[in-house]
């Protein structure tokens, strides 16, 4: 089941959450009700924008670009917050030309500051019709101003790759003081649509060394529909380089794969990289997101790593998926396991970003569920993610992302179930600031003074003042 969230309707209801509620009698000594975040991120963040790149520049702005359904122009928007990108002004930087090699599709732009100049890389093809339109090559345009939103953009030229063949989805990253180009390309003699390459850069459009071929689509989940590895994105954390890439056809079979290398390895040596045997991110029927992919990474306003990707709300596509406009830009938290490896989980689905609630003194104990049963303990990431739907007067309803039409319900016997409230208001709660920063208590509005509490390995209502009602929000 998929349902669209009206961003304006959501913003209106969230706005009803008073900045500071009147302090309820039960909360006087226990903090005050939590106000809704000034800028709540609601997925999809930006509709009809695929291949999204979002990054936070040192000017404090978030910049966002991506493919438009018409593939005829390069666009850019910026905002002070990730959520603000949703309604930010979008500027057209450059349009495809009337004729020639850049007069057709414009794909997957990325904005980079290269040698102090704003440079947007993108893939483009001619508009000659037939198969010629897929004569896709990589180009760059540059800005004549330090402000990419107001400057004038002009063609810098074409990327000089190792072969004159289909190439796209370029990005730039830095490692040990060297600037690298990473891109996808069809290599003569290898029967795939595209493979993943990296090489050090000499100039903004030339390489300083022969490329290293890091990945060829060969596993079953990489060759569904088309043999594709593309859209690589690099994250450097915990002494390693994590390179995600997208694989297979751009319909519901589109997935993220992962290559990992030690940060101190010779990353230009393909042997330094290990490919995850399974995809790390893929279609989720439970949360109704299909074909998630072409990701980038950013950091939210609190310093948390964020996964940026596109995905559709539905599975069945009429016609060529490439010309379906409904690959929407989505973002969600990126977590890490105990070994510092990214935990991608699943696409969280439409609506406000979900949270995780952990026991302050036992980071591996979460508010979680197994099926329709709530629990306190360790569980797969998706089973620990709960979405807070804002209600009138600062109330919230809490819904597991895996059970979208179910909510937490307080019962008269002190238990808390997952389901549909039989008693009006039994599924209404309020988050109250906890005793330490980043902690909350979740008070039942049906049973004031009672809050969600850890009770052994289960969850029950307990007196608001008791210690097992404090949760760390993550």
Q: Could you say which residues in the range 32-61 bind ligand AHR, by CB under 6 A?
A: 50-51
Q: Per CB under 6 A, does 169 bind ligand AHR? A: yes
Catalytic status, residue 230: yes
Strand bridging mode 117-124 / 357-359:
unpaired
| Nearest 10 degrees: Cα torsion 258, 321, 185, 152 | -100
CB of 250 to ligand AHR, least distance (A): 5
Give the C-alpha separation, 42 to 12, whole Å.
13
Q: Could you say which residues in the range 302-361 bind ligand AHR, by CB under 6 A?
A: none
Indicate the residue among 68 and 440 with the shorter CB distance to ligand AHR. 68
Q: Per CB under 6 A, does 106 bind ligand AHR? A: no
Catalytic status, residue 51: yes
Residues 179 and 201 sit within 8 Å (Cβ to Cβ): yes
Give the C-alpha separation, 112 to 171, whole Å.
8
On the CB side of 217, CA atoms within 13 Å amount to: 31
N-term to C-term CA, the chain: 27
CB of 248 to ligand AHR, least distance (A): 10
CB of 333 to ligand AHR, least distance (A): 23
CB of 228 to ligand AHR, least distance (A): 7
CB of 294 to ligand AHR, least distance (A): 5
Out of 127, 229, 250, 296, point to the residue binding ligand AHR (CB under 6 A): 250
How many residues contact ligand AHR, by CB under 6 A?
13
Indicate the residue among 51 and 222 with the shorter CB distance to ligand AHR. 51
For residue 312, what are the CA distances in angstroms to 4, 193, 292? 11, 23, 7
Q: Per CB under 6 A, does 67 bind ligand AHR? A: yes
List the catalytic residue out of 90, 110, 222, 230: 230
Could you say which DSSP state residue 14 is in? H
Indicate the residue among 250 and 296 with the shorter CB distance to ligand AHR. 250
CB of 85 to ligand AHR, least distance (A): 19
Q: Per CB under 6 A, does 123 bind ligand AHR? A: yes
Indicate the residue among 102 and 231 with the shorter CB distance to ligand AHR. 231
Give the C-alpha separation, 63 to 123, whole Å.
19
Q: Per CB under 6 A, does 107 bind ligand AHR? A: yes
Give the C-alpha separation, 98 to 121, whole Å.
19
Out of 253, 294, 330, 387, point to the residue binding ligand AHR (CB under 6 A): 294
Indicate the residue among 256 and 267 with the shorter CB distance to ligand AHR. 256
Give the C-alpha separation, 186 to 32, whole Å.
58
Give the C-alpha separation, 29 to 45, whole Å.
37
Place of tokens 């090489």: 199
Within 8 A by CB and 6+ apart from 231, the residues are: 51, 108, 169, 184, 245, 246, 293, 294, 295
Q: Per CB under 6 A, does 214 bind ligand AHR? A: no
Q: How far from the centroid of its chain's Cα atoms is residue 449's Cα?
A: 37
Please provide the size of the chain in residues: 474
CB of 450 to ligand AHR, least distance (A): 50
Q: Per CB under 6 A, does 230 bind ligand AHR? A: yes
List the catalytic residue out of 51, 169, 222, 355: 51
Give the C-alpha separation, 169 to 203, whole Å.
18
Place of tokens 């402000």: 147
Indicate the residue among 63 and 183 with the shorter CB distance to ligand AHR. 183
The catalytic residues are: 51, 230
Contact residues toward ligand AHR (CB under 6 A) are 50-51, 67, 107-108, 123, 168-169, 230-231, 246, 250, 294
């Amino acid at each position: 089941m998929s349902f669209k969230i009206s961003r304006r309707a959501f913003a209106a209801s969230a706005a009803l959450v008073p900045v500071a509620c009147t302090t309820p009698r039960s909360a006087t000594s226990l903090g005050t009700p939590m106000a809704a975040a000034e800028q709540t991120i609601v997925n999809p963040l930006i509709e009809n924008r695929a291949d999204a790149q979002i990054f936070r520049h040192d000017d404090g702005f978030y910049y966002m670009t991506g493919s438009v359904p018409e593939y005829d122009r390069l666009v850019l928007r910026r905002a002070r917050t990730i959520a603000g990108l949703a309604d930010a002004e979008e500027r057209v930087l450059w349009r495809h030309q009337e004729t020639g090699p850049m007069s057709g599709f414009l794909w997957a732009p990325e904005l980079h500051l290269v040698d102090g100049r704003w440079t947007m890389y993108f893939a483009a093809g001619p508009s000659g019709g037939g198969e010629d339109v897929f004569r896709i090559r990589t180009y760059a345009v540059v800005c004549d101003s330090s402000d990419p939103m107001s400057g004038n953009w002009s063609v810098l030229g074409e990327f000089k790759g190792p072969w004159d063949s289909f190439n796209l989805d370029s990005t730039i990253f830095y490692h040990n003081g060297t600037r690298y180009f990473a891109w996808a390309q069809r290599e003569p003699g290898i029967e795939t649509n595209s493979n993943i390459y990296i090489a050090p850069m000499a100039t903004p459009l030339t390489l300083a060394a022969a490329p290293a071929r890091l990945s060829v689509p060969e596993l079953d989940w990489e060759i569904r529909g088309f043999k594709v590895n593309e859209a690589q994105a690099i994250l450097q954390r915990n002494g390693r380089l994590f390179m995600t890439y997208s694989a297979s056809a751009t319909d519901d079979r589109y997935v993220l794969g992962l290559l990992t290398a030690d940060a101190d390895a010779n990353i230009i040596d393909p042997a330094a990289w290990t490919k995850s045997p399974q995809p790390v991110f893929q279609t989720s029927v439970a949360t109704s997101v299909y074909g998630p992919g072409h990701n980038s990474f950013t950091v939210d306003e609190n310093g948390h790593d964020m996964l940026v990707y596109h995905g559709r709300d539905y599975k069945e596509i009429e016609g060529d998926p490439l010309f379906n406009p409904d690959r929407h830009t989505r973002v969600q938290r990126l977590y890490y396991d105990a070994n510092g490896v990214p935990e991608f989980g699943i696409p969280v689905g439409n609506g406000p970003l979900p949270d995780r609630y952990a026991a302050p003194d036992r980071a591996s104990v979460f508010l979680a569920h197994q099926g329709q049963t709530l629990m306190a303990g360790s569980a797969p990431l998706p089973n620990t993610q709960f979405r807070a739907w804002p209600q009138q007067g600062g109330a919230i309803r809490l819904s597991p992302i895996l059970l979208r039409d179910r909510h937490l319900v307080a019962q008269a016997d002190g238990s808390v179930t997952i389901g549909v409230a039989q008693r009006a208001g039994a599924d209404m709660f309020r988050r109250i600031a906890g005793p330490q920063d980043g902690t909350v208590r979740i008070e039942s509005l049906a049973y004031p003074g009672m809050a969600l509490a850890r009770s052994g390995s289960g969850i029950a209502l307990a007196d608001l003042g008791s210690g097992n009602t404090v949760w760390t929000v993550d």
